[in-house]
């Protein structure tokens, strides 16, 4: 009998019996929760002679690490899926071993542990709504003895150890001839090339959550320096990322699916944020519990009552961080504060995360926060003792990520998203600072720049004899806030100056240089 050996080591997996033939994949339910349950109700499951080889979740490396370790350990003949599935990965595990994997024709450069580079094709595991991306190094046909996959996630009591005990009473391991162990499949990381930028202070203004996520991913992959964490893992990281979302409730289901998100995931997560009870087995904390019962009273109820009053208030500020316990604990909330601000009929939300996973958590967190904002507005409008005369509606959302990171291994899943963002059609954004009209005065030999707000009111006038003179004046006055707008204006200043020098007529947007 083969003993368990790592193909790719993972600190998210607890080894139990190296000669065990059953593996437990608990998805996003903490391994520590299962261990506590088993020690209390079925301690033999953790014994050295247990039929269980290991128990692990899908944090960190996820499915690609799990598949490599299963391939390298063909003595594991059964994988039981249980716990909480936040991403729909169960479907992809099942479909992989049914051979529902397609070639995409798209390639990506990877870097291996020994430093060499190789271009690999991306594969996709089929799914009803979304797909899962893999590199071509791990494929279904490579498994000579594929494990049976048992999906218990549809059973609400799937983590109950008695269900596992009953299964093991009749379980018989298969006895294939395992003369040699398959060679381990390496796990390379997608190649990234980062460009210099400020590590802190990136600001994104986007129409929708998905628009903001596309740009956020691009900035992380392009500008996030590779930081080594204290656990040895590497992440592309930026600090104090700010994303302003103008219409957070607007999305199309097909656009979600293109980015491997389902509407059911969003609705489930939004519902979880409103649950005050701490659900046993999911975590030692939950955002719903911190907002609900954790601090002794329901914080959202306080916000609803405040917003329903006809008064100006800046007290709708909720903290989820417990200063007494969280700095000492290993399992602490990433979302640390939520601020609701009512301005006339609009209620705006600002949320702060101390740490954020850019590839997986950020969009779901944002959709969850929008659900929270919408719920608070609805409840305030329905409150019997409401004195606020206006009907409150959800406004903009601002999300601060004090540390936001991207696991380089997750780039495979978002490469197509990054490529589409980088090759998107050019469209100049509406600059909140206003717009400009340019003319030239041949008598005074000056370029005149008139600045207007978006109500078409003249708010400033700048005069200069050269583009550089005007550029400095505009920069001193912080007259532009969008780089695309600045590049456009620079081009128009050059055209105006050329016409001034040559004594030609200048017409904005129409005059071209020879």
Torsion angle of C-alpha atoms 363, 368, 371, 377, degrees rounded to 10:
-110
Three-state DSSP class for residue 421: helix
Instruction: Retrieve residue 174's tokens.
Output: 């298969």
Give me the residues paired with residue 349 across strands.
340, 397
Strand-pair partners of 403? 239
Superfamily for the 194-422 domain = Thymidylate synthase/dCMP hydroxymethylase domain (3.30.572.10)
Q: How many CB atoms neighbour CB 182 within 10 A?
A: 15
What DSSP designation does 18 have? T
Give the N- to C-terminal CA distance of the chain in Å, as an integer. Answer: 79
- Looking at the predicted structure, is the pLDDT value of residue 216 above 70? yes
Identify any residues that bridge with 14 across adjacent strands, giving them in sequence order. 55
Q: What is the pLDDT of residues 344-358, one digit of tens each?
A: 999 999 999 999 999
pLDDT at 456 exceeding the cut of 70? yes
Average pLDDT over residues 385-401: 97
The answer to whether residues 314 and 321 touch, using CB atoms and an 8 Å cutoff, is no
CA distances from 75 to 18, 48, 165, 181, 350 (A): 10, 17, 20, 9, 51
Give the whole-number percent of the chain exceeding pLDDT 90: 72
CB 373 within 8 A of CB 340: yes
The per-residue pLDDT for range 309-327, each reduced to its tens digit, is 999 999 999 999 999 999 9
Going from the C-alpha of 224 to that of each of 88, 187, 197, 408, 465, the distances in angstroms are 28, 22, 8, 11, 40
Global pTM reads: 0.85
Q: Domain 13-102+128-178 - what CATH class?
A: alpha beta
Q: Parse the chain into domains and list their residue ranges.
A: 13-102+128-178, 194-422, 435-502
State the Cα–Cα distance between residues 402 and 397, nearest whole angstrom.
Answer: 16
- Spatial contact of 156 and 139, defined as CB atoms under 8 Å apart: no
The phi and psi torsions of 138 (rounded to 5 degrees) equal -120, 120
Q: What pLDDT score does 158 carry? A: 77
**3-class SS at 499?**
helix
- Which DSSP symbol is given to 133? E
Give the pLDDT band (50/70/90) at residue 283. low
Inter-residue contact 436 to 452 (CB < 8 Å): yes
Exposure pattern of 80-116 as b/e (b: 16+ CB <10 Å)?
bbbbbbbbbbbbbbbbbbeebbeeeeeebebeeeeee
What's the rounded Cα separation, in Å, for the pair 222 and 76?
40
Strands 78-84 and 148-151, how do they pair? parallel
Task: Please compute the mean of the pLDDT values over residues 16-44 and round it to a whole number.
Answer: 90
Instruction: State the pLDDT at residue 60.
Output: 53
Q: Tell me: pLDDT of 85 over 90.
A: no
Query: Of all residues in the chain, what percent carry a pLDDT higher than 70?
Result: 98
The helix-helix angle for 161-170 and 31-41 (nearest 10°) equals: 70
DSSP assignments along 199-244, one per residue: SB--EEEESSHHHHHHHHHHHHHHH--EEE-TTS-EEEEEEEEEEE
Does 188 score more than 60 pLDDT? yes
């Amino acid at each position: 009998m083969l003993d368990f050996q790592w193909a790719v080591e993972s600190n998210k997996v607890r080894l139990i019996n190296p000669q065990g033939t059953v593996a437990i994949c608990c998805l996003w339910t903490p391994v520590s929760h299962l261990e506590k349950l088993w020690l209390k109700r079925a301690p033999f499951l953790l014994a050295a002679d247990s039929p269980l080889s290991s128990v692990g979740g899908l944090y960190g490396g996820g499915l690609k690490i799990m598949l490599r370790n299963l391939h390298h350990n063909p003595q594991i003949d059964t994988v039981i899926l249980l716990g909480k599935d936040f991403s729909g990965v169960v479907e992809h595990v099942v479909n992989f071993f049914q051979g529902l994997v397609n070639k995409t024709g798209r390639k990506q450069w990877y870097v291996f542990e020994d430093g060499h580079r190789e271009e690999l094709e991306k594969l996709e595991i089929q799914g009803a709504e979304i797909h899962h991306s893999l590199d071509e190094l791990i494929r279904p046909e490579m498994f000579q003895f594929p494990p049976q996959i048992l999906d218990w996630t549809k059973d609400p009591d799937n983590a109950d150890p008695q269900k596992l005990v009953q299964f093991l009473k009749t379980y018989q391991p298969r006895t294939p001839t395992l003369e040699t162990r398959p060679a381990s499949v390496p796990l390379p990381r997608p190649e990234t090339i980062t460009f210099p930028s400020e590590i802190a202070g990136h600001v994104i203004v986007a129409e929708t959550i998905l628009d903001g996520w596309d740009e956020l991913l691009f900035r992380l992959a392009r500008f996030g320096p590779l930081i080594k964490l204290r656990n040895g893992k590497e992440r592309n990281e930026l600090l104090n990322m700010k994303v302003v979302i103008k219409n957070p409730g607007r999305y199309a289901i097909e656009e979600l699916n293109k980015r491997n998100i389902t509407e059911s995931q969003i609705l489930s997560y939004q519902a979880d944020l409103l649950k005050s009870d701490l659900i046993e087995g999911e975590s030692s904390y939950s955002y719903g519990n911190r907002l609900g019962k954790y601090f002794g009273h329901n914080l959202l109820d306080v916000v609803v009552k405040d917003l329903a009053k006809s008064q100006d208030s800046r007290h709708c500020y909720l903290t989820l961080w417990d200063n007494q316990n969280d700095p000492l604990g290993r399992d602490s909330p990433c979302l640390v504060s939520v601020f609701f601000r009512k301005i006339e009929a609009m209620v705006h939300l600002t949320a702060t995360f101390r740490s954020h996973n850019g590839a997986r958590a950020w969009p779901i967190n944002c959709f969850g926060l929008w659900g929270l904002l919408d719920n608070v507005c609805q409840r305030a409008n329905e409150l019997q003792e409401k004195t606020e005369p206006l009907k409150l509606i959800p406004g903009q959302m601002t999300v601060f990520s004090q540390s936001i990171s991207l696991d380089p291994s997750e780039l495979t899943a978002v490469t197509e998203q990054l490529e589409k963002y980088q090759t998107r059609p050019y469209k100049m954004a509406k600059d909140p600072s206003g717009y400009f009209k340019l003319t030239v005065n041949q008598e005074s030999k000056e370029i005149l720049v008139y600045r207007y707000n978006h109500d078409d009111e003249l708010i400033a006038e700048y005069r200069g004899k050269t583009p550089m003179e005007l550029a400095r004046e505009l920069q001193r006055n912080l007259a532009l806030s969008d780089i695309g707008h600045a590049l456009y204006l620079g081009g128009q200043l050059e055209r105006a100056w050329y016409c001034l020098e040559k004594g030609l007529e200048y017409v904005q947007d129409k005059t071209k240089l020879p």
